[in-house]
């Protein structure tokens, strides 16, 4: 789905569970593609539930808790 979203000229991309139901090889390819786009100036807000993916992918991690939004890493 991320590939389709990048066909149009965009400055920011919202990825809500973009890797759900993808195998590891496809997920890695998607992350490489999005990282290249980020390096070229694209902003990405990713909403995954996979902590391991966040460790590899995210520059900053924020967590929504019952008490509010907190910085959870980096």
> How far is CA 55 from each of CA 13, 20, 40, 50, 72, rounded to the nearest angstrom?
19, 16, 21, 9, 11
Q: Can you give the pLDDT at residue 4?
A: 60
Band of pLDDT at residue 70, cut at 50, 70 and 90: confident
CA distance 26 to 43: 21
CA distance 72 to 60: 8
Is 62's pLDDT higher than 70?
A: yes
**Which secondary structure element, helix H or strand E, spans residue 5, and what is its range?**
helix 2-5
Sign of CA dihedral 32, 55, 74, 67: positive
CATH number at residue 11: 3.40.50.300
Is 6's pLDDT higher than 70?
A: no
Is 2's pLDDT higher than 70?
A: no
Which residue range forms the structural domain that includes residue 23?
A: 3-73
Structural domains counted in the chain: 1
């Amino acid at each position: 789905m991320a590939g389709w979203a990048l066909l149009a000229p965009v400055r920011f991309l919202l990825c809500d569970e973009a890797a759900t139901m993808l195998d590891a090889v496809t997920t890695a390819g998607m992350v490489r593609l999005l990282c290249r786009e980020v390096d070229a100036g694209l902003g990405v807000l990713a909403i995954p539930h996979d902590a391991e993916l966040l460790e590899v992918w995210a520059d900053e991690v924020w967590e929504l808790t019952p008490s509010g939004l907190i910085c959870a890493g980096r």
